[in-house]
Amino acid sequence: MPENQIESKKFVVERYLEQIKILSALATALLISPALIQVISGKVYSNIGRPRMVSLRTLALVSNISFLLVIILSYLVYSTIVGSVNKGVYDIYRTATRVFSIAQFIALIVGLSFLVAMFYQLI
């Protein structure tokens, strides 16, 4: 394989790993927001009924689990890429990498959806 082609594949892998780090950092930051919303809603909206508060807690729980799943999947994607690089193959299109990346993106969308639903419940 020509040297220029290997360098371009290395560059693509580095950018892909950087994307994974950013997505993981975003999920970590968003992990705090449902808990913060619950604290604020408990103080500001003290007249919220019990069923609505249970609904808010359920939305927060599902949102937090989704964001934790994003972080765990980030490590799995990272490890699949490191495993391929260790073999000397710079391939971000491996089946395992693609499956975990898609699952990571879906988990992020699910977490954000439940977070938005929680905001909507508060309004």
Say what the pLDDT of residue 45 is: 57
Q: How far is the CA of 17 from the CAs of 40, 74, 106, in angstroms?
A: 36, 9, 18
Q: From 70, 85, 42, select the one nearest 94 (Cα to Cα).
A: 85
- The single-letter DSSP state of residue 47 is T
**Annotated domain spans of the chain:** 3-122
Q: How far is the CA of 4 from the CAs of 1, 9, 52, 77, in angstroms?
A: 9, 9, 59, 25
Prediction pTM value: 0.79
94-113 average pLDDT score: 93
What is the C-alpha R_g of the chain?
Answer: 19
The predicted-structure confidence for 9-58, as pLDDT tens digits, reads as follows 888 888 888 888 888 888 888 877 776 766 666 655 556 666 777 777 88
Say what the pLDDT of residue 99 is: 95
- Grouping H, G, I as helix, E, B as strand and the rest as coil, residue 49 is coil
The predicted-structure confidence for 53-85, as pLDDT tens digits, reads as follows 777 788 888 988 999 999 999 999 988 888 888
